[in-house]
Amino acid sequence: MLLPGRLPAAEMFPAGQKDVRSRYIDLPSGIRVRVVEAGADDAPVILLIPGWACSAWVFHDTILPLSDAGYRAVAVDLKGHGLSDKPQEPSHYTSASMRDHVIEIIDALSPEPVRLIGHSMGGAIAGDVAASVPNRVASVAFVAPVGFAGVEGLSLFKLTTSRFILPVLPYLARRRLVRLMLGMVYAGMHPVTEKDVDEFWAPTQFPEFSRALRELLHNFSWKQPFPELSMPWITIVGEKDHLSRPRDVSRYAGVNGKAPTVVVPGVGHVVFDENPELVNGTLMAFFGVRR
């Protein structure tokens, strides 16, 4: 049963977007995921991994610039999110399960090593993937990573999302709640638009979505050591981000402290949307422009 009032699936990003396409991939695990992509099929792949509660929409200002730079930019709706499958078993939402899920996606996209961009929770997943299968990852951009320094207030979120409220949880995700939460993670440099609210609210039409988010809150490892990596990486955080705090950037510089870290002035957690020009320019400089 779909919950009413939300943006229909056919109208969700990239609907009406020129040069951006979407399709579904059936993974060996039996999970079906949606990817949104742009660029030539034979171009090197950059896989964009969104965070908790986010779909491919969070990268809407980044996909085309990456493809224009000569890459095949692929943003994925992770399992439990967007228009991808939403299994309900808690075991699907551990850190190890999400890591293996992304490795399956990489193998489905390209036989060659890929570049990763991980946003928020997607940053922790990207780091886990890169450390586990370094031969499949050429480089990594951590953007507002969450999962290495802990999350303030997480214990309260867990307390208010006990299993007792699972039956009613999907009905609590009202549009005004989504707007309120977006207002807390945007810093004000880029105002939250009605389109932003529509896209972030749209997946809540599937009751399984809210339950999947609950399982991630309770089963994902939100404080894990930053991995030792053998490939180049960069970290980008917002100056006013309360989830991926600028004071924590030193932990992402590596044991020799040489991995670059960039603090984007005036923005919060959704840095791709709040200052796309600076973020995209930083990503191009890191990955390199191929044309």
Q: Where are the beta strands (DSSP E) in 134-280?
A: 137-143, 233-238, 261-264
The beta strand positions in the chain, using DSSP E, are: 21-26, 32-38, 45-49, 72-76, 114-119, 137-143, 233-238, 261-264
The tokens 């390209």 sit on which residue? 110
88: confidence class by pLDDT, cuts 50, 70, 90: very high
- Does residue 1 lie within any of the structural domains? no
pLDDT per position as a tens digit, 116-171: 999 999 999 999 999 999 999 999 999 999 999 998 888 888 888 888 888 898 89
Residue 106: per-residue pLDDT: 98
Q: Is residue 172 part of a domain?
A: yes
Q: What is the mean pLDDT of the chain?
A: 95
Exposure pattern of 214-238 as b/e (b: 16+ CB <10 Å)? bbbbbbbebeeebbebeeebbbbbb
Per-residue pLDDT tens over the stretch 25-73: 999 999 999 999 999 999 999 999 999 999 999 999 999 999 999 999 9
Residue 177 lies in a domain: yes
Cα–Cα dist 102/197, whole Å: 26
Kindly report the CA angle at 241 between 264 and 221, in degrees rounded to 5? 120
Q: Name the pTM for this structure.
A: 0.97
Question: What gap in Å lies between CA 279 and CA 237, rounded to an integer?
Answer: 10
Total of domains in the chain:
1
Q: What is the pLDDT of residue 159?
A: 84
The answer to whether residue 203 sits within a structural domain is yes
- Nearest Cα neighbor of 271 from 127, 98, 142 is 142
**Mean pLDDT, residues 275-279 taken together:** 96
Instruction: Provide the percentage of residues in the chain whose pLDDT is more than 70.
Output: 100
Q: Which residues constitute the domain of residue 118?
A: 9-287
Confidence class of residue 234 from pLDDT cuts 50, 70 and 90? very high
> Cα separation of 100 and 113, whole Å?
16
The number of CA neighbours under 13 Å toward the Cβ of 76 is: 31
3-state percent helix, strand, coil for the chain, nearest multiple of 5: 40, 15, 45
Chain centroid to Cα 57, Å, comes to 9
Contact 28, 104 (CB under 8 A): yes
Q: What is the CATH number of the domain that holds 127?
A: 3.40.50.1820
The answer to whether residue 85 is domain-embedded is yes
- CB count within 10 Å of CB 4 equals 6
- What's the token pair of residue 125? 């997943």
Does residue 239 lie within any of the structural domains?
yes
Residue 32 lies in a domain: yes
Task: Note whether residue 4 is domain-resident.
Answer: no
